Amino acid sequence: MPSSRPWEKYGSWCMAYKSDIVFLDLPMQPILVVGSAKAAMELLEKRAGIWSDRVPSIIIELMNWDFNLALIPYGNKWRIHRRMFHQEFHTSIVKKYWPVQLDYARMFLSLILKSPADTRKHVRQMITGLIFYITYGKRVSGMNDEAVVVAQIALEGLSKGAVPGFSWLDYFPLARHIPSWFPGTSSRKLAEKYLPYVRDMKDKPYDEVKANLDKGIAPPSLAASLIEKNRKYSGTDEEGVYDEASRNVAGLAYAAGADTTNSSCESFLLAMALFPEVQKRAQAELDRVVGPHRLPDFDDFDNLPYIRAMVMETSRWLPDVWGILHNPEDYPEPERFWPDRFIGADGEIDPTVRDPTTIAFGFGRRLCVGRPFSNNTLAIFIASILHVFDISAGVDDSGKPVELSAEYIGGLIAGPRDVPTGLKPRSEAAKALISNFRMSSLAADSASFKKGLNRADYSSWHAQPPPLQPQASGSEATNGESSKKKKRSKQSMYVVYSQPADTGTGQNLNTQLLYAVTHLKSTGNPVRLQDLAIITSTPLDTDKTLLERFKAHDRVLHDPKTDLYSYRHDFNVRNKAALLTEIQRQTRNGGGLSVRTLKESWKEAPQAIEELEKEGDVFVTRTTKDGQLRMVFWNEIKPDEENGGKQVEKEFLDLWHSLEVPNDVDLLKSLANEGLQATAAESLAPKGPFGKKKGKKSAPRQRQVRITNVHLKGQIDLSKDYVAPGK
């Protein structure tokens, strides 16, 4: 078995045998090589129930790396870890990390400006600092920080031990009991070398956060959030289980994100030096959308399709899933870094081209949960550096241009051998943007991060029914009965019934269907079937009847090419122009649009409507109590016909704005002078002394209403048509 760059050998076997699947009948550990996306989807997603397990690795267990989610055998332990990790990193919650990701991306720009020759070191420092701060609320002092050094050594052990075929212990498990001093036990010695580092990486920072929480001085962090959620298990049999799971998930957050995201950032820099024409096109888009006076933000990405395509192409270009993402049938010229392959004729992302991020992060129930966070980190890194820097290979000590290679080196997580060092500010204005940036203070960071944590819904995925209380007897039961009815027990207030499978309820097919569709609606993005099944704890991927009803649901959209599911909203709007077009269409049909419904289809709709209102394109109605948007209408009466508005004469506009709107008292007097009465002031007919006759139901009384415009009398000629001729 190849221990270096095994993906290339696997790919050559598939090509040699002209098969998507190659079976290696190795002694004691057969291997199945999957060489195409179609075969991977068929086995790992559609048949996830039988293809989601893991063979235990003895060398990994001896290193104490068996808490890694990717290596835990499929079962209850894996489910607990997976849900806990997903709760902190799913698509709708990773926005809380945006302020910190922005800070570290911009800190990277400052470091590059000072010493571009240390590009590789700065990338590592940015990713390491970002993940440590998010996970433990701790700012590391640099790559020589003790916590960083310990973590890097621990990851080195994982990178070596997790490569298939690395250790003979995986083929002869009983040999694990041979003492390390015995000849031929180099694997045991290697495991003993890395064991203390793995333990310290996982335990030391977590225990520090736990101690600081008890003192009330712990900053917001992923570890602090997990610890707080687990307090409800205090004193129960499950306390140890969930504390260990939280400890593992926190440790895994660094292990899963540090090397992989670092490798992606380095790969992108290498691609920019090798393919400068791509760099120029991306910079042109940034100049057009962001402009020269500020740095990119996450809110810009809706208008940066080429940058989003670069994130996709970076995941495809030099991935671990090498053979599938270098298939020329799916991606022509696979060795070329070419984001244009994902751009359609309209300049937006082409949905007919398979998104490589749905492959590079794994399949089925083993799909990496940290994908949204990783993609966001890579996206803001790409946008930030291209906006202010030109990237080239650089020069060596003799002043000659460096020749870069696309060769990858490494074990489990490979990275590019070469990283460019020729990074120069694009202009003096770009240099000023970097120089004027100052790393936001820890207090500001913590406040923003804490605000995001407070907004998140931290309902437990593993809530259990409240334990049965001992039955009281005699007078004690009688005296306590009324108080129990009046006051709910304090313990039951902390029980959250959020998952049907966790509470012993929700086994009905309709309940499971409703839960799956409701969650799909809340995601806002296309998701995989297996993710829905895991998140909702429903047998969506194994129960054929449930799956058929789910697919047939009128609100569920399925893309057979990507095998992703999305929610069918009432309106398909994703920008302000499309929103205005929809408002115009609805207004022409004689009505307005509910802002709430629009927001469900596009979360940014209320903000866009506010902008359209300021620009005079729409009218809105608001709630009386708090002034929130309710309905929106197109303003079709405009001074020009640029957007199809109806032109009216200037005389009418002047009259309209000069009208004096009477107050309530003056309006009643005006009505009285005309011999009229307000509709609300109804005359009350005297009732008979004996009231209504029993047994007879009076017919509904018809109101006599006259619509009047008496307050306009003498101000506007209501018989005149003020619409411009021919309109």
Question: Residue 243 burial (CB < 10 Å; 0-12/13-18/19+)?
Answer: middle
Give CA–CA dist 565/560, Å, rounded.
9
> What is the C-alpha separation between 334 and 39, in angstroms, rounded?
20
Bridge partner residues of 250 (DSSP): none
State yes or no: 14 annotated in a binding site. no
Q: Distance between CA atoms of 126 and 109, rounded to whole angstroms?
A: 10
- Give the span between the Cα atoms of 489 and 473, in whole angstroms: 18
Residue 573, number of CB atoms within 10 A of its CB: 20
Structure tokens at 456: 């998140």
**Side-chain-side CA neighbours of residue 74 (13 Å):** 11
CB neighbours of residue 631 within 10 Å: 14
**Residue 244 in tokens:** 């260990």
3-state secondary structure at position 602 = coil
Distances (CA, A) of 710 to 651, 661, 662, 676, 681: 20, 11, 10, 10, 17
CA neighbours closer than 13 Å in the CB half-sphere of residue 170: 19
Q: CA 630 to CA 596: how far, in whole Å? A: 7
Nearest to 120 by CA among 371, 426, 415: 415
DSSP line for 498-547: --HHHHT---SHHHHHHHHHHHHHHH-S-EEHHHHHHHHT--TTT-HHHH
Which residue stretches of 141-238 are H helix? Answer: 146-161, 186-215, 222-229
Binding residues for heme: 368
Residues annotated within the binding site are 368
